[in-house]
Structure formats: structure tokens, C-alpha cells
Amino acid sequence: MMTDVVEQNGGPAQPDPAPVPAKGDVSEAGPPGESGDPADARTGTVEPNAAARIVQIRERIDEIDHALITLWQERAALSREVGATRMASGGTRLVLSRERDILERFRLALGADGTQLALLLLRAGRGPL
């Protein structure tokens, strides 16, 4: 059985707003370092080498996120084109065997999270059922 993933509030996912610490509250910055200074709020550590590595890793994560977003958008556009071409030629709106193959491919590669990801990809390309 295939179902679409929906936010509990029924709307699109919205990021949680960042909490605003009370005046003088440094608990959000992390545990104090050896010098008594709070950890860097951006990296969560006062150790310079670790902080530099975290920044470097996050830069790569940001690059990957950009690539994923670009690929997501391209995939959705191509999927919509396939559907429009199929329907314009008298075909069906969906090919369920194709969707099952995609779901299975993602499940085998990524487990249960892969199934959820595949459902989101399919919905992005064809819309909700």
C-alpha cells in the first residue's frame, strides 16, 4: 500500500524557530570550555582544531545539500514531463509498477527512511494521489 507523507499540521514543513536565550543565559552555547568560556555557538566546541574541522565538514554538507536540491528539482521536472507525455499519448496518469520499483530501490539502499524519501520524490514529480 502506498501513502503520501504529510506533515501532522497538514501543511508544508516549516523549520522550528531558533530559541532566543534569556539575557545572560549561555546554556544554548554549549558546555563551558576549560578556560570557563562558553563553547562557540556555531560549532559547539572551544577547541580550535575541532571547530575548524566542523566548519570544513559543514561547508561540504552545504555543497551536498545544494546538489540534492538541484537534483530534486530536476528529477521532479523530468517526472512531470514523463507524466504529461504519457497522458498526452492516451496513457495512464501513473504506472504503479514503476513507482513500486522506485520504492523498492530506495528501501533496499536506505531502509525505512529510503521508502519515505522515495514517497516524497514520487509526490514531487506527480503530485499527491
Yes or no: domain 45-126 corresponds to CATH 3.40.1360.10: no
The pTM of the full predicted model, rounded to 2 decimals, is: 0.66
| Share of residues in the chain with pLDDT > 70 (%) | 71
Q: Give the pLDDT confidence score for residue 112 in this predicted structure.
A: 97
Give the 3-state secondary structure of the chain. CCCCCCCCCCCCCCCCCCCCCCCCCCHHHCCECCCCCECCCCCCCCCHHHHHHHHHHHHHHHHHHHHHHHHHHHHHHHHHHHHHHHHHCCCCCCCHHHHHHHHHHHHHHHCHHHHHHHHHHHHHHHCCC
pLDDT of residue 36: 55
Task: Specify the pLDDT at position 106.
Answer: 98
pLDDT band at 30 (very low <50, low <70, confident <90, very high): very low
In the chain, domain spans: 45-126
Q: What is the pLDDT of residues 59-104, one digit of tens each?
A: 999 999 999 999 999 999 999 999 999 999 999 989 999 999 999 9
